[in-house]
Amino acid sequence: MTEATVERIRLFLIESPIKMARLQGVGNVKGTVKRVLIELTSSDGAIGWGEAAPWEVFTGTPEAAFSALDIYLRPIVLGKPVRRIRALMAELDRALVGHAEAKVAIEMALLDIVGKSSGLSVADLLGGRVRDTIPLSFSIADPDFAADLERMRKMVPDGNVIYKVKTGVKPHREDLDHLEAIRKEFGDKVDLRVDYNQALAPFGAIKILRDVEEFAPTFIEQPVPRKYLDVMAQLTAALETPVLADESCFDRRDMMEVVRREAADAVSIKLMKAGGLFEAQAIMAIADIAGLPGYGGTLWEGGIGLAAGTQLIAATPGISLGCEFYMPHHVLTEDVLEERVANRAGHVVVPDGPGLGIRVSEASVRANARVIAEG
């Protein structure tokens, strides 16, 4: 029997309007977000989709991801067997340094094809499910805090109880006022978390974070810049609240350093950082050994990338702190899926169809596309 190979690649650089501005510490977002979609077609006619969602202040630009896929990775991928995913990912790493988002887009599209061809979900291909739903975390990041508070008033009664407040962008006193307002109105009904996105300078950070501890957050995410790993370790030792590493942990080597230095109590697992679902599971395996739970983080993915994220978390026991996969439902004005990945009672429902378990709307993709490359 002839082994199916990658026969065609289509790329779409898309730009999607968003409903609200987002203050994120290291960088702000408003108006639109860009990302790259890839469609792979195999020689037996199966189609798989992937998504690259870089952020220029975090990992890179969508335009760079598009060029990496179109110019450097396309000739390597064309003609390769669709089932030999690990071998191909190793070849991509040898051919091009960095560009994790471009590489994970290829990997998720291949897994989508293999899953559809075999009748298995991506979670099945990754070892099988340990969960069917994932608690959803919504980020409080609107410049207009009153608007976010109003959103919470609508979301909490529907079962959405996890909220991550983006801190360090506004004055410290204002951050404390916002945390106090949330606790005053919702009390212990909400699981409150804070995320500084590297916003604090090491000098004086401990005093600021001890103020924040008064509001009993579940964790404090990445309080200082990535390069200050020793400071992360000092804060982890000094605070009663668990510290979660995000920008300090991109890959397995980073995870080893975090564990060795005891620089965090938990870790944010993001496909766009890791560069692959297999790589994300490998990072989490190291965290498991050290007893560090994982949290499903995101950049600005739409439904394709987040469907892959749900499949990963469904098959990875250690990613137990929920996920922030709220973009398609709450921020994007339009996604590219025929039906959005379901949210129910404050949880993301893991798609149970073959592959990623989604159907992509060609019309929506083309309506949002700014650049298209086919071949």
Residues belonging to the active site: 166, 324
User: CA-CA-CA-CA torsion for 72, 125, 82, 275, nearest 10 degrees?
Assistant: 0
- What span, in angstroms and rounded, lies between the C-alpha atoms of 226 and 228? 6
Which of these, 110, 76, 109, 79, lies nearest to 95 by C-alpha position? 76
User: CA-CA-CA-CA torsion for 157, 163, 168, 174, nearest 10 degrees?
Assistant: 20
Which of these, 204, 198, 152, lies nearest to 178 by C-alpha position? 152
The 3-state DSSP composition of the chain as helix, strand, coil percent (nearest 5) reads: 40, 20, 35
Tokens of 109: 């599209």
Q: Phi then psi for 296, rounded to 5 degrees? A: -85, 95
Q: In angstroms, what CA-CA distances link 90 with 82, 94, 136, 272, 295?
A: 14, 6, 33, 17, 26
- What span, in angstroms and rounded, lies between the C-alpha atoms of 21 and 61? 19
Sign of CA dihedral 324, 303, 372, 271: positive
The identity of residue 296, as a single letter, is G
- What span, in angstroms and rounded, lies between the C-alpha atoms of 34 and 43? 30
